[in-house]
């Protein structure tokens, strides 16, 4: 046992799981032409652990057993732990060419949220179960994802509202017996679920008493009876129209997971009707997950900064004052994201023995990223020019009767070959694709979710400041 | 002769023109699986003229001959003419499901710019040539596009700068003889050139004396010897992953046009070395073309407003206050675009007998559209949700073993079927595709171009206001 | 009778009205050192009517009597009427050095709102009364203001909510008898009330049935028994620290009007309990009043544009690219305000025989002005420099031992004298004073009020656009 | 010797310095009715050192002598030192009710910049002189300010450009002899100079070789022969129209300092013609000074947050969703300022033995504050309402015949007295005064200055990111 090798990880996936892709059932995710791309991306985490260059970042000694474990499964204790985990995600995403591998991070965020909640409840059973589960994850180094977002139905009604078309829009407990609980429902947007070892399921919002059956959290393996996944196909980058690029394609796919009366054994159940604790569980998960989100956006943003700088040079406009202004805006965007993310680590708060990133700073960092992302896309597209839409393809470029003319006419700065310019245009087309905009907004919660969290967290600050203003105005209450 | 029928238009295109698409020479654009889609879009203008419902809008009586001609080829004389032409483009774009047909509008803008410039020069030859050309266009109702943007090379150097890698980055006169002129160079981003009857070529920026050879404007037919076009392929909407939709796909393709020492007869030459008049020609073209651009953006924006309203209802969030705020922002964006565009018509200016839309208002309208477009995309994506990226495909939806579950779980508002919700998501994916963002920025000139024009045009305003401020401050100069 | 002269207007004010200013009762507003400044500003409207240069703009022939009347009291019938009235306000404000005279405009807006509402009700009594009142205003050319905003109390409770500290936070009917109605309450922010001839009182928001007693509109003269006004003092411009300026100070003062059981005769009552019509009355008033607001902001904004251009020249930075960018932003702000305001006139709607500016365009114009005003202040202050805060005073400038040094050292552009530069700084300090910011936000309703009106007015647009999107997505409902 | 008491500080100021205020020469700044207000504000720093509550923050043990010295004069060595100094400025500003005392901070920033520059030059004389001067400041605990901004003349010309009206727009060396140098010119915007002990003079921008005479830095006492100061009067808060407030007024005044051929002894000269080192000196000063600026803006911003929260409650609108949105924006503004400022300390860089705040983070923090300040003013004014402009004065409030009515009618939330509401309005009028806007933009350098510094500092980042993008695009250069 111990750390899993990339090969062991891949072998572990051929376990009879039910996964659909483009209307067909996938025989083996590891050998499927599209899903294997995602598997290879997730495997990066396992490769890092074996690579001497990254081992210190990716692997730590377990405080209890002294064994080598993934840093992700270590409970953060201080600012340094948080900063190191942050650095690990940044580096892993760099190795994923801007895509986060996803094999442990969200799972770890969920583990920590469940641990905090179990301790808040003071429920020893839950505390013991989650600690046992953590030990197993550490020992087997399993790939773990989180299934959070329910399909929800009508957003203005509670899960149990009789006005809902049916009661299954949120995952719920339909039965309990001595073996465990039986759950039904569907989770959506679940990145990496088709090629992980464990799925950690938690609610996606706070529940009221009437919704107690929806207050449920558990771990489940993807090949468990009653689980089916439907994946959204990705649009492949490596088109014969693009310039050939030997770097592997790096994308994930997201699952709709259908739970068709799935039995979850008791030792894997971490919440079961305690509706008052859904709020804290979701909240703590969101918090840690948003920190994770900010980390992996840093390499993505560096690609924006880099592509913008490059194309400005290639087009020959790098000295124009409005171009400088645009690059400054990109730098401010990137560096603000870094500063707020690191501040969140420095100003951490302790919750049930776990160091949690500062709630206000974390939410500001994610909100900063999400709310201004489209502005950055605009800048990159503005600098790139209309050629992003109208450039001749690689197929045209290599056609003997056209090659020399395209090579002649599509040069910008004479120090840069036309091929290099068109390659950069290909990259810009790829990094500014619109699905990334949608993900920027919605991954880890929409901008409104972050704003509302900031408001809640700022309650004391608002009160303190009001008191200060009242002293200055000599208001006597 | 007279108005061309859609059939006549299509027949006219099989004329030996040299067009490349995805690395292959196209035999006949009308029968090519992809390019024919564009041909059908361009044909809408000809269909309108035959349709009693739109005939009054699309066709006018020629002031000189009394014959029925396309409204586009009529020289606008007053606000009413400008408003009617505006209305015509809006309607044509509506019929194109948000894509402008493009068969006369940009050509007409170019005609008007050439006419104004010829009159400014007081050059009777040019005036006569362009009037003759206009008569021909009216009589034959030809599909005419404009070729403006040069490939440019290094943007910081003049066309004739010896520092450029070669002198052909801007279309130039390489020879003159008694038959005409010989031109060389390449134009890029030329929408509709592969399936038009006439290409009007003008410079893309003001030229200095050293660049006199680049001061050239002319009309040329696409099948003229020495002309090759390379088209950028479009990404088809009608994917088997999408819900089937019987509305035809509506997209254009843009050409890189290579001029390989092409002979242009004198009667088709409208500028030949008069470098001082390149500025006015480009400027007047940009002005009229930006008005055109604003018109066709109105139906596009209505799609945004409509899709946002629909998906907010389908998701069941239409009553939330932050959703209302987002819809208000969309309405303000749309209505400001309309108001500024119509103001530009009301406050027109006369130039050489042609009513031209108000320069400041027109540029503000285009700048408004372009600089805030990404914000509107963000709003639509925010309201739509992450499902835009993760929704199961139509192939999954119709799979018997998945259909009922997807139908059950992906419902939002119970009054809207899951299919309808997923269809709207398909539409949103389509209208928010990133190439439209790039086009929003760069078509008709980048935001910086509009700002600079506003500055130039505002010289008198700034001076008048300064005088007013000086009177108030009692400054005596 | 007929048009009132400035002298007659002033004489009419010494009528026993009860007005407080800085804690003292004002004997005669016309001779009071501060209030007389406001009286002189209001008199500009009367001066314009006598000035041949402006008479055509300020005076029209009454359609019924053929007599000369103020254009303000003419019922607008078409776009031309609206544009002319718009032009009149712009010109009057120019003559007021950026301050609108206020003697008829808001009164006229209120008259028109009352007329529309009376006709909507189909109440002949009201129609007759308001027509008679209009005749009187035309004949006597009275200075009329509107009293709209109630002091309100707790904003989250209805006027009649028992939770309010008392029932008088909104003006209400406390008694009715055969002579008329008796009203109690207080109105706030009433510009010009201390020096007008008639106050038109209407509700400030829509009332529910429980609030029927608050559904009241009437005309009252400022010297009526039971009316007291408390004016907010203005901060005088002409400080001995500023450079002396022979232009008169132009400012208004606003009143808190207390109605202490005031009897209003029936013929002056225009609404009395018909709560369903409070909405339309307020709404139509707001609409017309926002158009008025946009008009008078144009000369104010021209001062911003002018002062910014001047100080950029005086400081010697007019050629810097970031300075140009700032001037462009100012121009766009001004010209957008003009375009939207004029669009509102062109696209007017008819209501009960009165041409009303387009609701969406008008609200967008006001929202544009208000929501971006602070950005414009920022630009002007940015261009002016820290010297706005730190410049030596006029008193220092004229001190023999300092004069030459200040003159030497505080020069910028050598073609502009130091005195001129410091005069412009004085002007900038004046036009960017913070009370103008507050007024920009709140006068004619806060930005949120405009947004909400746009939303209401856009209901049909949203529905039409949704239908369009559904057709494109082939949604079948 | 050692730390100075507040009394000693005040006594030290009556030294014959030449200061003008409102056109009159000030006899003694300590007893002058207006300037004494500023003196009292500056004395807060000295009071803190004597106050046991703040002593640990304000005073440190000198590393060399072991004596108690002001923390400001200690050379920061690490993040902790920077964070402590940051905390000290925040606290001092809190005690100044939002105004920074200014007695050491800018002086210390200048000292550090001079020290770094002297070491960069490797000039032992300068290193020794500045170390001696630092020892003196430590020992005597002198109040030290910085004189940086020259009056400049035409901003587009270099100081020595013959096109300037005269050569004295920037402070320059007009003579050198064995005693020292003789300087002429004028500095503007010099806060606190009228009531400090030492003025540290440095250039305000990088100089070229032609401007070597302007490359000059030195220390000078305010009573030195040839120095005259002209102060800009402040507008007093404590108006009889406002509600009486027993907290002392807290404001500074800024000087125009005229140097009329002033002799500076050699031991006080720190730069004398070494034009290449003006850039680093200015740059390092700006950097440290911007960190200082961010610190003192925190208590100011807390006043905004507090006043906004209070008035929202007092007006009874705290539950409205758009009010929440506005408070969230204020919180994000404040917390981003804090996060960026603290990040700048954590990510410090070492320069010549001095820990300097991170250049990019510091400039972003200042730019964040300055560029969004007007938006925050807008929010506070929006929440406060028009009553800020129209409220009756305290004089009216206490008039027996008006008191009860004003008290009755101007209540909002019934749990808050009318007096408290009006007091908060007074405070809002004070904190949103327009001079604070001007200061927000221009103090510590205009927004454009911060952007340009970010660009310069980001050169390596841009290059690294470009390299990354080129690897992804497989660009081979």
pLDDT tens for each residue of D460-469: 999 999 999 9
Nearest CA in chain A to B184: A409
**Residues 6+ away with beta carbon under 8 Å from A310:** A424, D466, D469, D470, D473, D475
- Where residue D62 falls among pLDDT bands split at 50, 70, 90? very high
* Neighboring chain C residues of A321 at a CB cutoff of 8 Å: 321-322
Which of helix, strand or coil describes residue B179?
A: coil
- Where residue C1 falls among pLDDT bands split at 50, 70, 90? low
Using CA atoms, how far apart are residues B65 and C422, in angstroms rounded to an integer?
Answer: 65
Q: Does C238 touch chain B (CB under 8 A)?
A: no
Which of helix, strand or coil describes residue C214?
A: helix
Residue B277: predicted pLDDT = 97
Q: Does C364 touch chain B (CB under 8 A)?
A: yes
Take residue A223 and report the two structure tokens written for it: 């090949």
Which of C256, C316, C443 minimises the CB distance to D156?
A: C316
- Report whether pLDDT(C238) > 80: no
* CB-CB under 8 Å, B387 with A156: no
| DSSP, residue by residue, D395-438 | HHHT-HHHHHHHHHHT--STTS-HHHHHHHHHHHHHHT-HHHHH
* CB-CB under 8 Å, A188 with B386: yes
- Report whether pLDDT(B237) > 80: no
Share of chain D above pLDDT 90, in %: 96
Q: What are phi and psi of A415, to 5 degrees?
A: -85, 0
Q: Does A322 touch chain C (CB under 8 A)?
A: yes
- Where residue B403 falls among pLDDT bands split at 50, 70, 90? very high
- Report whether pLDDT(D394) > 70: yes
Q: Which residues of chain A have pLDDT under 50?
A: none
Residue D477: predicted pLDDT = 81
How near does any CA of chain C get to the CA of A472, in Å?
20
Which of C306, C328, C423 minimises the CB distance to B455?
A: C328
State the average pLDDT over residues C20-48: 97
Contact of A231 with B402, CB cutoff 8 Å: no
Residue C367: predicted pLDDT = 96
Using CA atoms, how far apart are residues D292 and A194, in angstroms rounded to an integer?
Answer: 52
- Report whether pLDDT(D239) > 80: no
* CB-CB under 8 Å, C342 with B340: no
Residue D50: predicted pLDDT = 96
Chains that touch D (3 or more CB pairs under 8 A): A, B, C
How near does any CA of chain B get to the CA of A418, in Å?
10
Q: Does C80 touch chain B (CB under 8 A)?
A: no
Phi-psi group of D392: left, alpha or beta (phi > 0 → left; psi -120 to 50 → alpha; rest → beta):
beta
Residue C275: predicted pLDDT = 97
- Where residue C2 falls among pLDDT bands split at 50, 70, 90? confident
* Neighboring chain B residues of A373 at a CB cutoff of 8 Å: 378
* CB-CB under 8 Å, D335 with A462: no
DSSP symbol at A299:
H
- Report whether pLDDT(B235) > 80: no
* Neighboring chain A residues of C321 at a CB cutoff of 8 Å: 321-322
**Of A368, A366, A343, A346, the residue nearest A355 (C-alpha):** A346
| DSSP, residue by residue, D299-364 | HHHHHHHHHHHHHHHHHT-TTSHHHHHHHHHHHHHHHHHHHHHHHHHHT-EEETTEEE--HHHHHH
Residue A1: predicted pLDDT = 56
How near does any CA of chain C get to the CA of D233, in Å?
8
Contact of C369 with C299, CB cutoff 8 Å: no
- Report whether pLDDT(D64) > 90: no
Which of C154, C388, C402 minimises the CB distance to D414?
A: C154
* CB-CB under 8 Å, A387 with B165: no
Share of chain B above pLDDT 70, in %: 99
Using CA atoms, how far apart are residues B220 and C227, in angstroms rounded to an integer?
Answer: 81
Residue D24: predicted pLDDT = 95
Contact of B142 with A305, CB cutoff 8 Å: no
Residue D237: predicted pLDDT = 63
Which candidate in B87, B291, B321, B339 is best for mutational testing of the C interface (most C CBs within 10 A)? B339
**Of B111, B103, B105, B157, the residue nearest B133 (C-alpha):** B111
Residue A410: predicted pLDDT = 96
Residue D241: predicted pLDDT = 85
DSSP symbol at A267:
G
pLDDT tens for each residue of B83-94: 999 999 999 999
pLDDT tens for each residue of D294-307: 999 999 999 999 99
The average confidence (pLDDT) of chain D is: 95
What does pTM read for this prediction? 0.96
**Of D467, D344, D468, D343, the residue nearest A299 (C-alpha):** D468
- Report whether pLDDT(D422) > 90: yes
What's the full length of chain A, in residues? 477
- Where residue C28 falls among pLDDT bands split at 50, 70, 90? very high
- Report whether pLDDT(C240) > 90: no
Residue A408: predicted pLDDT = 96
Contact of A60 with A69, CB cutoff 8 Å: yes
Residue D280: predicted pLDDT = 95
Q: Does A319 touch chain C (CB under 8 A)?
A: no
Q: What are phi and psi of D174, to 5 degrees?
A: -100, -15
- Where residue B236 falls among pLDDT bands split at 50, 70, 90? low
C-alpha distances out from residue D237 to C235, D257, D428, Å: 13, 26, 12
- Report whether pLDDT(B2) > 90: no
């Amino acid at each position: 046992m111990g750390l899993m090798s990339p090969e062991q990880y891949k072998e572990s996936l051929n376990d009879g799981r039910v996964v659909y892709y483009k209307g067909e059932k996938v025989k083996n995710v590891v050998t499927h032409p599209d899903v294997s791309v995602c598997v290879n991306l997730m495997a990066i985490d396992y490769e890092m652990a074996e690579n001497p260059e990254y081992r210190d970042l990716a692997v730590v000694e377990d405080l209890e057993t002294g064994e080598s474990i993934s840093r992700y499964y270590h409970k953060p204790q201080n600012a340094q732990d948080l900063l190191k985990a942050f650095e690990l995600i940044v580096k892993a995403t760099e190795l994923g060419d801007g895509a986060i591998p996803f094999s442990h991070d969200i799972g770890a965020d969920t583990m920590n949220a469940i641990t905090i909640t179990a301790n808040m409840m003071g429920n020893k059973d839950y505390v013991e179960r989650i600690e046992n589960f953590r030990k197993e994850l550490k020992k087997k180094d399993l790939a773990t994802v989180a299934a959070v977002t329910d399909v929800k139905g009508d957003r203005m009604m509670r899960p149990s509202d009789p006005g809902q078309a049916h009661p299954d829009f949120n995952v719920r407990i339909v039965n309990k017996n001595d073996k465990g609980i039986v759950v039904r429902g569907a989770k959506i947007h679940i990145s990496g679920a088709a090629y992980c070892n464990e799925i950690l399921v938690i609610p996606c919002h706070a529940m009221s008493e009437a919704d107690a059956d929806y207050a449920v959290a558990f771990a489940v393996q993807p090949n468990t009876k009653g689980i089916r996944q439907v994946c959204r196909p990705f649009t492949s980058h490596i088109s014969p129209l693009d310039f050939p690029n030997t770097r592997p394609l790096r994308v994930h796919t997201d699952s709709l997971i259908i739970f068709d009366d799935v039995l979850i054994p008791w030792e894997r159940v971490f919440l079961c009707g305690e509706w008052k604790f859904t709020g804290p569980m979701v909240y703590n998960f969101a918090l840690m997950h948003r920190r994770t989100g900010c980390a992996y956006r840093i390499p993505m943003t560096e690609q924006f900064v880099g592509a913008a700088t490059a194309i400005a040079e290639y087009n020959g406009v790098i000295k124009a004052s409005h171009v400088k202004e645009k690059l400054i805006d990109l730098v401010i965007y990137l560096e603000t994201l870094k500063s707020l993310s690191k501040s969140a680590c420095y100003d951490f708060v302790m919750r049930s023995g776990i160091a949690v990133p500062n709630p206000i700073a974390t939410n500001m960092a994610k909100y900063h990223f999400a709310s201004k992302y489209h502005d950055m896309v605009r800048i990159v597209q503005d600098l790139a020019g209309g050629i992003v839409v109208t450039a001749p393809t690689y197929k045209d470029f290599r056609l003997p009767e056209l090659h020399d003319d395209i090579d002649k006419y599509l040069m910008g700065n004479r120090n840069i070959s036309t091929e290099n310019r068109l390659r950069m245009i290909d990259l810009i087309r790829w990094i500014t694709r619109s699905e990334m905009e949608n993900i920027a907004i919605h991954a880890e919660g929409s901008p409104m979710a972050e704003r509302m969290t900031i408001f809640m967290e700022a309650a004391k600050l608002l009160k303190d400041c009001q008191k200060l203003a009242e002293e200055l105005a000599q208001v006597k209450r």
